[in-house]
Structure 1
Amino acid sequence: MSGLRWGILATGGIAHAFARDLRAAGIDLIAVGSRSQEGADAFAAEFDIPRAYPSYEALVADPDVDIVYVSTPHPMHAENAMLALENDTHVLVEKPFTLNAAEAAQIRDLAAAKGLLATEAMWTRYLPHMVRIREILASGVLGEVRAVIADHTQKVTDDPSHRLNAIELGGGALLDLGIYPISFTWDVLGAPTTVQASARLRPTGVDYEVATIFTYDRGALATTLSSSVTRGPNTATVLGTDARIDIDSVWYSPTSFRVVAPDGTVLESYESDVESRGMQYQALAAERLVAEGNFAGDILPIDETVAIMGTLDEIRRQIGLVYPGGR
């Protein structure tokens, strides 16, 4: 068993994936909260969870729950995370962390004031192949990194009531899909100097295609493409002056990659041996941070999460994507 006792707040599809990986990793999952007792009971039965609560308030009030995974739709993340923090419970908040940078900063500041961990569930950053990629980047074998190219493209339903198409649910390709390659560019190159974005919007007001170009002080470039109407390669590349990293599909989940020299020589070939979706790694990292008392974070610091939300805010400003209430 692990060091923290986990609760899951909400019981949608991503919560099922998370619970499945926690169970497979032997992490201590003790409670679930839903909007109904029926929903909580069904989820608890599926994953052998001993405590099932009919409300989020009841879940975070459980004194035995140390940390809560917030998996509600995007617009509810801030409210739900603050609820847990106010009840002295650490939080791992599903990406995107919030709808905007202001909400993200509120969570960060409350967590700091309470001496608690609040961190974003950008699970990709914690996967073993991404850990190895950061080691390769730090080694300097790529030379000067000049560009990052990544896409996250899926073909989903055109149903306007689907959460990805519903503006009231924080829908759109940017926050649901684009967050992956944009967070990846931050991981590799840091904060961009300039941000350019172009998008296509649905009649519901959300974006279904968005392309970005980031520039950096040292002259590097990053390009991303996200779409909810077409399935693309879902690969990523980091280009350096001495070598490149080619990450195979699906690059943001457990996968393989190669480090390739300019003449085509493969300098390193990495094969993933992760059999699950890999969401347990972020949970284990959260437990480590709590054990260390490092509430600022390291692989994905909370300040970086807030700054990435700021980048998403700027992209939304450029493409005209505004959520209800001006959020």
Structure 2
Amino acid sequence: MKTIRWGILGLGKIAHSFASDVALVEGSEVYAVASRSQEKADRFGATYSASKCYNSYEQLAKDPNVDAVYIATPHVRHHQDTLLCLKHKKAVLCEKPFAMNRSQVEEMITTAQANDTLLMEALWTRFMPHFKFVKEELASGRYGAVKTLTADFCFEADFNPEGRLFNKALGGGSLLDIGIYPIFCALALLGKPDSFEAKAKIGKTGVDEEIEMTFKYNSGTTAFLNSSIVKQTPSTATLVCDNGILVLNSRFHQTDKITSILEGNKIEHDFAYTGKGYYFEIEHFANLLRENQKESPLMSFEFSRQLISMLDEVRTRIDLHYEV
């Protein structure tokens, strides 16, 4: 098995979780890391035994020994950092949201195709066992049609106007950071809505601190979705179907517990995993690279287009615009 040598751009909290899980994946290693601060790069690199620690993203992108790059920079940098790596023929796993808008995503996809290089949006929930189970259960038909999906992702963040969550210049707000998860859940399980409603609370820094969305489907299905960075909720997802109920327990995007109720029988399903939960997307991406694939069948370009388009439409509806 070929060892995939990973490079990591952006060394914040999520990069630590990703790097620690790389060590759990057979045939993957953290080879190079990059930060604008050499001290930060050296410290991060020492923690995860990286061979190279760079103080520029371009240096990492040019390193001939790097096979794949995980992009964990702020949202507003995803587009430019992805293009940089693709133009140096590096396979790119870019953290969600893929970019700030549909046009940026299209350029990323076009660049990947022009360079014959693998590109995938890193929305880890799609690859986790609990989510695969839910998709399979719904596809089995045993639960009947979905009547409602209720999904929330909310937490009370420490207010820092310069931090990434509240700083509009960094693509802050609840929608792009965590509201993307309930939307992803609806799109992946129910498809694109036929109509939707959205309302938001815009905070003093100009970002959406809270957002509520209702997706409506001509089939009669309704999805109630919300996110917030100023209040705490259980962050669960519940599917009420004609014949039963499926509950993705807290926090639904990374849970290892699913509750199913079918024909009066309640079952607790355990999907315990080792590490932070990034293992599954890392393994999937590494296998795609070994197989010389250019696109993921589980997180396809078409799905990423659909997701960013939905985010764009919601932002337009709540009159939230970023300078990009």
Instruction: Tell me the TM-score normalized by structure 1.
Output: 0.95
Q: Which residues of 2 match residues 163-182 of structure 1 at below 5 A?
A: 163-182=164-183
Say if 2:316 is the partner of 1:317.
yes
Which residue of 2 is the match for residue 50 of structure 1? Answer: 51
Letter in 2 for 1:245: L
Offset of residue 2 of structure 1: 5.8
Which residue of 2 is the match for residue 278 of structure 1? Answer: 277
Partner SS for 1:214: strand
Judge conservation of contact 1:5–1:29 (CA < 8 Å) in 2.
yes
Letter in 1 for 2:83: M
Partner SS for 1:226: strand
Which residue of 2 is the match for residue 22 of structure 1? Answer: 22
Judge conservation of contact 1:254–1:274 (CA < 8 Å) in 2.
no
Which residue of 2 is the match for residue 12 of structure 1? Answer: 12
Identity of aligned residues (%): 36
d(CA) in 2 for partners of 1:95 and 1:45? 26
Q: Which residues of 2 match residues 61-210 of structure 1 at below 5 A?
A: 61-210=62-211
d(CA) in 1 for partners of 2:309 and 2:235? 24
Which stretch has the larger CA shift, 274-283 or 74-83?
A: 274-283
Alignment RMSD, CA only?
Answer: 1.4
Offset of residue 79 of structure 1: 0.1
Which stretch has the larger CA shift, 215-224 or 204-213?
A: 215-224
Letter in 1 for 2:84: L
Which stretch has the larger CA shift, 86-95 or 281-290?
A: 281-290
d(CA) in 2 for partners of 1:289 and 1:238? 31
Letter in 2 for 1:296: E
Residue by residue over 1:166-188, the C-alpha shift from the partner in whole angstroms, topping out at 9 and shown as x without a partner, is: 00010000000101111111110
Say if 2:297 is the partner of 1:306.
no
Judge conservation of contact 1:254–1:278 (CA < 8 Å) in 2.
no
Residue by residue over 1:131-187, the C-alpha shift from the partner in whole angstroms, topping out at 9 and shown as x without a partner, is: 211211221111112221100000001222221010001000000010111111111
Offset of residue 75 of structure 1: 0.3
Partner SS for 1:48: coil
Which residue of 1 is the match for residue 32 of structure 2? Answer: 31
Offset of residue 275 of structure 1: 3.0
Query: Runs of 5+ in structure 1 lacking a partner?
Result: none
Judge conservation of contact 2:248–2:255 (CA < 8 Å) in 1.
no
Judge conservation of contact 1:246–1:258 (CA < 8 Å) in 2.
yes
Judge conservation of contact 1:197–1:213 (CA < 8 Å) in 2.
yes
Residue by residue over 1:201-241, the C-alpha shift from the partner in whole angstroms, topping out at 9 and shown as x without a partner, is: 01111000001111223221111110011110111011211
Offset of residue 293 of structure 1: 3.6
d(CA) in 1 for partners of 2:210 and 2:46? 39
Offset of residue 101 of structure 1: 1.1
Letter in 2 for 1:122: L
Partner SS for 1:321: coil
d(CA) in 1 for partners of 2:41 and 2:140? 47
Which residue of 1 is the match for residue 219 of structure 2? Answer: 218
Offset of residue 54 of structure 1: 1.4
d(CA) in 2 for partners of 1:34 and 1:65? 16
Query: Runs of 5+ in structure 2 lacking a partner?
Result: none
Equivalenced residues, count: 323
Judge conservation of contact 1:147–1:222 (CA < 8 Å) in 2.
yes
d(CA) in 1 for partners of 2:142 and 2:205? 46
Letter in 1 for 2:104: E
d(CA) in 1 for partners of 2:116 and 2:217? 34
d(CA) in 2 for partners of 1:115 and 1:98? 20
Partner SS for 1:5: strand
Judge conservation of contact 1:254–1:277 (CA < 8 Å) in 2.
no
Partner SS for 1:28: strand
